[in-house]
């Protein structure tokens, strides 16, 4: 039986920390679905399609043959339903510094309450990305700060473009 894992997140946008989890996760499972999911607590900067395209582009350009076992998808409903409908027995999440723990623990327990057939597996984020969070990256980029090295180059370009568009909207 194939082991299918789903790696859900807002990915607004994908960071090098996410990419690290994808690269390591794909080695552990037969198939990895990177899922742009809906987090009602986070207003998004990029559209779902833009986020999917960025993830797809990064996987295609930065991962070798292993990229062939990765699927990028999006979903606006309950994660556990998506996992079950797609025969994914694993939810993969990255764990950064202590601040992530409580939220991740609650989410894993809630998902486990809804289905005991789906296990949440955590990978410790690589030490270089311990403090890399999309929110911080967006805040820095919105004020013109450099986020080079924290996100793939293609994503950095998209961030610059997005904030330039926003500034234009304000000026008009």
- In the complex, minimum distance from the CB of residue 114 to ligand PNS, in angstroms, rounded to a whole number: 8
- In the complex, minimum distance from the CB of residue 78 to ligand PNS, in angstroms, rounded to a whole number: 4
Q: Which is nearer to ligand PNS, 114 or 140 (CB)?
A: 114
In whole angstroms, give the CA distance from residue 114 to residue 104.
15
Candidate ranges 3-11, 52-60, 146-154, 159-167; the one touching ligand PNS (CB under 6 A): 3-11
In whole angstroms, give the CA distance from residue 23 to residue 126.
11
Give just the sign of the alpha carbon dihedral 133, 135, 140, 146. Answer: positive
Please count the other Cβ atoms lying within 10 Å of the Cβ belonging to residue 32: 28
Interface with ligand PNS includes 94 (CB under 6 A)?
no
In whole angstroms, give the CA distance from residue 16 to residue 81.
28
- In the complex, minimum distance from the CB of residue 12 to ligand PNS, in angstroms, rounded to a whole number: 8
In whole angstroms, give the CA distance from residue 16 to residue 21.
9
Q: First CA to last CA across the chain, in angstroms? A: 57
Q: Which residues are catalytic?
A: 18, 42, 96, 134
Considering only residues 123-152, where is the footprint of ligand PNS by CB under 6 A?
A: none
Q: Which is nearer to ligand PNS, 68 or 139 (CB)?
A: 139
Where does this chain bind ligand PNS (CB under 6 A)? Answer: 8-10, 37-39, 42, 78-79, 107, 110-111
């Amino acid at each position: 039986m194939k082991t299918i894992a789903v790696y859900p997140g807002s990915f607004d946008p994908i960071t090098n920390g996410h990419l690290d989890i994808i690269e390591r996760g794909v080695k552990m499972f037969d198939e990895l679905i990177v899922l742009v999911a809906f987090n009602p607590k986070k207003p998004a900067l990029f559209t779902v399609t833009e986020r999917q395209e960025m993830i797809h582009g990064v996987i295609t350009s930065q991962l070798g043959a292993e990229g062939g076992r990765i699927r990028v998808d999006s979903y606006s409903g309950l994660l556990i339903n998506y996992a079950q409908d797609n025969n994914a027995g694993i939810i993969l999440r990255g764990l950064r510094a202590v601040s992530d723990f409580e939220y991740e623990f609650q989410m894993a327990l809630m998902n486990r309450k809804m289905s005991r057939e789906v296990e949440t597996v955590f990978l410790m984020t690589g030490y270089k990305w311990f403090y890399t969070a999309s929110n911080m990256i967006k805040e820095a980029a919105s004020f013109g700060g450099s986020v080079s090295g924290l996100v793939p180059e293609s994503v950095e370009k998209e961030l610059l473009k997005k904030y330039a568009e926003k500034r234009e909207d304000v000026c008009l």
